[in-house]
Amino acid sequence: MAKDPYKYFRVEARELLEGLSQGIIDLEKRGVSKELVNRLLRLAHTLKGAARVVRQGEVSELAHGIEELLEPFRDATGLVPRDRISRLLELVDTCGERLKPVFSPPEQERAAVPAPPQEPEGAITNVRVEIAEMDTLLYDLADATAHIGAVYQETAALDAVVETANALVTELASVPGPSDSGARARAEELRTALKRSSRSLRAGLDRAQRDLGAIRDRASDLRLLPARAIFAPMERAARDAADALKKRVVFEAAGGEHRLDAHVLLALRDALAHVVRNAVAHGIEPEPARAAAGKAPEGRVRLRVQKRGNRVHFVVDDDGAGVNLTAIQDSLIAKRLIPTSEARALQLPEATRLLLQGGVSTAPEVSEVMGRGIGLDVVRATVGRLKGEVELRSEPGRGTALELMVPVSLESMDVLSVSAGESSVLIPFDAIRQTMRLANKDLARSASGAALVLDGHTIPFVPLAEVLSKKRLPGSWPQTWTVVVLRARGAQGAIGVNRLNGVRNVVLRPLPALSGSSPLVAGATLDGEGNPELVLDPPALITAVRSVTGPATEPVVAPPASVLVVDDSLTSRMLEQSILETAGYRVDLAVSGEDALEKAKQKPYALFVVDVEMPGMNGFELLERFRADPVLQKTPAVLVTSRASGDDRRRGEQVGARAHIAKGDFEEAHLLRTIRRLIEGEST
């Protein structure tokens, strides 16, 4: 196997580039100091020499250029001209661009540690292979702990042997006739040896389990990074955006001492950088406007990191003008996203919620930094994948704050084990509001199902066994329920279980991409005997609870409505099928417009869910064919597309679409509400 010539250079170069980038930003903020300039010169000189050793001549020349730009400031004082700072940063960025092929590990290294999706280079990426190795170690430790649990089960058999030996000794002692002291002595020795072995085995297992637990805790700690690891890229994002828009901005950061799961920091880095750029672009006013408002000429953008229980909050705020409600209304009207009357009636809280869903921009013009109406929906989607929430607050004239709330760790978590029917599943503990015992007769009943009233709020209730099996429990409900009340992303739901089995800490494993898992499942772990246990996803579980209709008394169950999903993307088809089947619908799939026509003529459907962009017959053309058919034209259709333009909506309406959902704004609850409204509207 050929040696990797860049093995050590790869690590060193990343550290040197990060040090140069942060040091140049410090030089701009603090002005010239001999110590800082000398440190930057050392970094540039080290990069120049290291690049030359591995025959990266262009990078070596670029590093020499950095030295030449810094040299005049070795004995200077005062501030460095902004154009000189920009040129220095440009040279550092160019070095990073030229080294991208080097930063990609060789094939054998990629095989050893699967590489995650590409992300911008930086200090966190530098630790990424180590994080992958720590993940593997944590999984192996979890496996070892599970194997020890299985051995514990086997010690029960040894205990049974000890009991048998006890019985034999007693039986020998009670046998009438000539005494065989030798046999009794040997039996006594056997019993003593077995008891000693049993005690020794249990003590060894206890010690091994304690040691493994301690190693796992230390391994988990090694995966933690201080939050300040992302401060430098955030400051650079603010600086670059301000430079591009000719604004003066001061960046501040706090909470860097908090140590967080590296996966959380990695996943949020790009999202936070976008939020910081947005704060500069949309929040901070130009200097004349700030002067007119009595504000300092420099705008302030601040990133705060706070740990609250099992969650970490990233808050990006600014002292700008606040969200422009009129601009949001104008954008919604211009893009025909909602009717004009509804747009003008919007208040600030509803408008900021729509702003988070994408497709809306308050920028007066499009540039590289702003104005395309994309980005915040990506931020929301990123946080959603982390099982987190996003909240936007704004005060006119005072500024805006965007808060991202995510779990402290994505791998290790406290869970509550519950039994439901014949299944045992795990629920993340931080999503549990409370547990209680509740008589069946105390559940509120209505046409929409069962519910309980807690602190003045009506919370929908469904037996967990019904959610998991997607069918009603046979017979009557029990007289008393053990109830688990859940809260996630501002929604609540309650589930009935047979038993609470206790709380424990587990290492969460993601399920294989092609495992066909339910959207209810967040991941899996191993129980004490090495068997897999599923960890449920609280937001998806609450959505399922709110989608299932519970019995008012002993209902007559209507047959589920049939829906035809038409999409050439396997991912989209399977996602929509899982959501709809979880909500109780029967789902058929079609991979093309032609396939959908055939299926639609073979059986009746209550609704069509159709992708727009498909090879061959696209979604618009398919709906035109449906509209031309005297039978199929009566079936409502929902168009799903990756584009949310007004032209798409208008054309969809022309060919008979009853609703339009953008994939970038794809929310399970919204999809189900739309489908339920259309199906129930057709049946009334």
Contacts of 670 (CB under 8 A, 6+ apart): 661
- Domain termination residue (choose one: 375, 407, 439): 407
Residue 626 has pLDDT above 50, yes or no: yes
Provide the whole-model pTM: 0.56
Q: Binning pLDDT at 50, 70 and 90, where does residue 229 land?
A: confident
Q: What is the pLDDT of residue 581?
A: 77
Residues 400-430: pLDDT tens digits? 999 999 888 766 778 899 998 888 899 988 8
Contact between 398 and 419 under an 8 Å Cβ cutoff? The reply is no
Structure tokens at 332: 């919604």
Considering the domain architecture, whether residues 51 and 105 belong to the same structural domain is answered as yes
- Please count the CA atoms within 13 angstroms of the CA of 176 that sit on its side-chain side: 0
Contacts of 532 (CB under 8 A, 6+ apart): 524, 525, 526
d(CA 11, CA 121): 11
- Please count the CA atoms within 13 angstroms of the CA of 550 that sit on its side-chain side: 27
Q: 509: which DSSP letter?
A: B
Percent of the chain with pLDDT over 90: 22
From 23-37, 276-290, 355-369, 643-657, the region with the lowest mean pLDDT: 355-369
E strands, 157-288, are: 224-226, 249-254, 259-261
List the 562-566 sheet strands across, edge first.
586-590, 562-566, 607-611, 637-641, 659-662
d(CA 604, CA 587): 12
Residue 553 lies inside a defined structural domain of this protein: no
Residue 291 lies inside a defined structural domain of this protein: yes
DSSP H helix total and E strand total for the chain: 23, 23
Q: In this predicted model, which residue has the larger pLDDT, 373 or 312?
A: 312
From 191-205, 237-251, 263-277, 381-395, the region with the lowest mean pLDDT: 191-205
3-state DSSP assignment of residue 21: helix
- Domain termination residue (choose one: 196, 223, 250): 223
Residues 157-166: pLDDT tens digits? 677 777 777 7
Q: What is the pLDDT of residue 666?
A: 59
d(CA 479, CA 1): 68
Residue 1 lies inside a defined structural domain of this protein: no
Considering the domain architecture, whether residues 261 and 372 belong to the same structural domain is answered as yes
Q: 373: which DSSP letter?
A: S
Q: What is the pLDDT of residue 485?
A: 93
Considering the domain architecture, whether residues 388 and 437 belong to the same structural domain is answered as no
Residue 552 lies inside a defined structural domain of this protein: no
Residue 209 has pLDDT above 90, yes or no: no
Structure tokens at 316: 């990006």
Residue 385 has pLDDT above 90, yes or no: no
CA dihedral 667, 668, 673, 675 (to 10 degrees): 110
CATH of the domain at 392: 3.30.565.10
d(CA 671, CA 543): 11
From 36-45, 96-105, 639-648, the region with the lowest mean pLDDT: 639-648
From 95-99, 150-154, 301-305, the region with the lowest mean pLDDT: 150-154
Q: What is the pLDDT of residue 92?
A: 92
Considering the domain architecture, whether residues 447 and 535 belong to the same structural domain is answered as yes
Please state, rounded to an integer, the average pLDDT across all residues of the chain.
79
Q: Binning pLDDT at 50, 70 and 90, where does residue 372 land?
A: very low
Q: What is the pLDDT of residue 402?
A: 93
Q: What is the pLDDT of residue 379?
A: 85
Q: What is the pLDDT of residue 374?
A: 45
Q: 82-98 and 57-70 are packed helices; what angle lies between their axes, rounded to 10 degrees? A: 170
Give me the amino acid identity at 503: V
Question: What number is the average pLDDT over the span 248-261?
Answer: 91
Q: What is the pLDDT of residue 62?
A: 93
Contact between 604 and 632 under an 8 Å Cβ cutoff? The reply is no
Give me the amino acid identity at 142: A
Residue 122 lies inside a defined structural domain of this protein: no
Considering the domain architecture, whether residues 568 and 449 belong to the same structural domain is answered as no
- Please count the CA atoms within 13 angstroms of the CA of 669 that sit on its side-chain side: 10
Contact between 99 and 59 under an 8 Å Cβ cutoff? The reply is yes
Considering the domain architecture, whether residues 149 and 101 belong to the same structural domain is answered as no
Residue 265 lies inside a defined structural domain of this protein: yes
Residue 555 lies inside a defined structural domain of this protein: no
Domain count, the chain: 5
Q: How far is CA 118 from CA 105, 134, 406, 462, in A?
A: 12, 19, 22, 42
Domain of 466 in residue numbering reads as: 412-547
